[in-house]
Amino acid sequence: MKIAIVGVGNLGSVLAQSLLAHGVPREDIILVARNKSKHDEIHEVVGCRPVDLPRLSDKDILIIAVKPQDMGDACDSIRHSLSSETVVLSVMAGVSCGALEERLNHRAIARAMPNLGARVRESATAFFLPNSLTAAQVDRVEKVIMSCGRGWRVDREELVDVATAVAGSGPAYICWLAEQMEIVARDSGIAPGDAHALVLQTLKGAVSYLEHDGATFAELRARVTSPNGTTAAALATLEESSAHTIVRDAVRAAIHRAIELGRQ
């Protein structure tokens, strides 16, 4: 499988490294980066040297990993060198398949939104594939997705925007909550390094428990919450503050922003 990645920022670099780790030969991965001053740095980090703009007609998959605002320039630079058999896989937040199809004059368009976990091969990725793709094209896209973690195919493209807000932005929400826990631990006398490690291990333990036990989030929360205990006191404060409404509104704001980015 021959793959070109246009845009070698954080996500493009991680995807290249994941594909290499999953056995895709180095010579079958082409990186396209316009900033020549970064070519040496990218080569050192990723293991593949970027090029300006290679021949793309022989590529099975073309991954567009530029920032959404750079989509137009990226598409204009590649639209005339694509083969009709090449699948274009967008990992740009908010950019619809329709917008890419129009800009590229190309029908085989797929869309995915990997998250931070891709860096450690633990991405939670929602992806959308149009029914027009062949079985072979679907298989290629799924191999790219699974190289960096786990993937869930959604049947409506707008659900990728939802997944962007939930999984793409999700690590930030979790880290924000962990920050607050860490601050209280430090302010209450626990050494800074220990406070960080304590919260980190708490998160790790909860995730491991959920994976092992198969419990839902609500079920684990109930198990930890003894009547009139410490957890109950904390959760009561959150309920009184309507924290659940605030968090849900925050995630919905991220969904709306993902849609806005696509419109822009």
List of domains in the chain: 3-154 (3.40.50.720), 170-263 (1.10.3730.10)
239-250 residue pLDDT tens: 999 999 999 999
Residue 63 sits at φ, ψ, to 5 deg, of: -95, 125
**Whole-number average pLDDT of the chain:** 91
33-61: average pLDDT: 77
Q: Which run of H or of E encompasses 39? A: helix 39-46
Q: What is the pLDDT of residue 76?
A: 87
Q: What is the pLDDT of residue 235?
A: 96
- In the chain, the percentage of residues whose pLDDT exceeds 90 is 63
Cβ-based neighbour number of residue 78 at 10 Å:
20
pTM to 2 decimal places: 0.86
Burial of 84 (0-12, 13-18, 19+ CB in 10 A): exposed
134-162 residue pLDDT tens: 999 999 999 999 999 999 999 999 999 99
Give Cβ neighbours of residue 138 (< 8 Å, ≥ 6 apart).
Answer: 129
